[in-house]
């Protein structure tokens, strides 16, 4: 496990401490779970962006192929 120093806004710290008392979880575990959750959220956002980009590329290519088929139909 890695050690790190963390500077946290006072408001966020106080809210975190209040919640920790209610959920009866230690601060280290709580922060680890929060970072893990946020990492998953960011990974999903990155994947969504990648899929949108790739979808646009496929859409353009599909439109080109469709246009070629239509051109072939019009030649007959």
pLDDT tens, 2-55?
Answer: 999 999 999 999 999 999 999 999 999 999 999 999 999 999 999 999 999 999
How much is the pLDDT for 48? Answer: 97
**Position 23 in a domain:** yes
What integer pLDDT is reported at residue 76 of this predicted model?
Answer: 63
pLDDT in tens, 56-76: 888 888 888 888 888 887 776
Q: Let me know if residue 4 belongs to a domain.
A: no
Q: Is 2 part of a structural domain of the chain? A: no
How many Å apart are CA 34 and CA 28, to the nearest integer? 10
In a domain, 3, yes or no: no
Instruction: Look up the domain containing 28 and give its range.
Output: 10-75
Please name the residues in contact with 18: beta carbons below 8 A apart, sequence gap of 6 or more: none
Q: Does residue 53 sit within a domain?
A: yes
Q: What total number of domains does the chain contain?
A: 1
Say if CB 1 and CB 29 are below 8 A apart.
Answer: no
């Amino acid at each position: 496990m890695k050690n790190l120093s963390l500077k946290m806004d006072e408001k966020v710290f106080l809210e975190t401490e209040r919640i920790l008392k209610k959920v009866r979880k230690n601060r280290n575990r709580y922060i680890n779970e929060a970072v893990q959750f946020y990492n998953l959220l960011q990974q999903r956002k990155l994947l969504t962006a990648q899929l949108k980009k790739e979808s646009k590329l496929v859409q353009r290519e599909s439109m080109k192929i469709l246009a070629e088929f239509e051109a072939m139909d019009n030649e007959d």
